[in-house]
């Protein structure tokens, strides 16, 4: 019997494991794009309002999020399908952007009620967007797990046990 770490590493080499890693990587990339966009838009006063800068930064990040997830994570080529790809993606993106607006609303209140430097305010606004994204990402994962009745750890374990039983001559360790 191999260690749980080895089993997890083996799972990352499966199709589902690779897809989850790519999805998480795209999330990290687009979160960075959003963070930097908001920091520049608000920090350089290109978009002076907290709410508008947060909205603009998240919309900017949505474009590479769609393209990277579609082509790299899901391996789709050719024209996008409106009903099966574009509408569901933008629905979830807009829901996430709306969620981040609550964080921006809170940050705006802090910016207006305190007399901090613009640099500190910029860090607060961009950081609150990052926190909002993290909370939304976890909530989205919980909702999807509930909807699809997915139990990630149990699914990984079941997958690895099935692979081990299918090829008993090939040790995992």
For residue 83, the model assigns a pLDDT of 83
- 3-state secondary structure (DSSP) of residue 149: coil
Task: Kindly indicate the confidence band of residue 153, based on its pLDDT and cuts at 50, 70 and 90.
Answer: low
Tokens of 91: 């629905």
Average pLDDT taken over every residue of the chain? 84
Tokens of 112: 């207006």
For the segment 126-130, the average pLDDT, to the nearest whole number, is 95
Task: Kindly indicate the confidence band of residue 146, based on its pLDDT and cuts at 50, 70 and 90.
Answer: low
Q: CB-based contacts of 7: which residues, under 8 Å, 6+ apart?
A: 156, 157, 160, 172
Residue with the larger pLDDT of the pair 15 and 171: 15
pTM across the whole model: 0.74
In this model, does residue 64 exceed pLDDT 80? yes
Residue ranges in the chain assigned as alpha helix (H): 4-12, 15-43, 50-68, 87-113, 118-147, 152-166
């Amino acid at each position: 019997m191999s260690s749980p770490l080895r089993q997890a590493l083996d799972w990352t080499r499966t199709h589902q494991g690779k897809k989850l890693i790519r999805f998480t990587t795209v999330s990290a990339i687009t979160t960075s794009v959003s963070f930097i966009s908001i920091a520049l838009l608000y920090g350089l006063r290109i978009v002076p309002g907290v709410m508008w800068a947060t909205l603009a930064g998240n919309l900017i990040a949505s474009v590479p999020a769609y393209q990277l997830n579609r082509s790299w994570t899901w391996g789709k080529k050719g024209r996008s399908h409106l009903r099966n790809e574009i509408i569901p993606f933008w629905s979830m993106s807009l829901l996430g952007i709306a969620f981040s607006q609550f964080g921006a609303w809170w940050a705006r209140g802090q910016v207006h009620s305190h007399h901090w430097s613009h640099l500190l305010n910029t860090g607060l606004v961009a950081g609150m967007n990052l926190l909002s994204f993290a909370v939304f990402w976890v909530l989205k994962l919980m909702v999807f797990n509930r909807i699809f009745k997915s139990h990630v750890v149990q699914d990984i374990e079941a997958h690895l046990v099935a692979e081990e039983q299918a090829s008993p001559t090939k040790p995992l360790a």
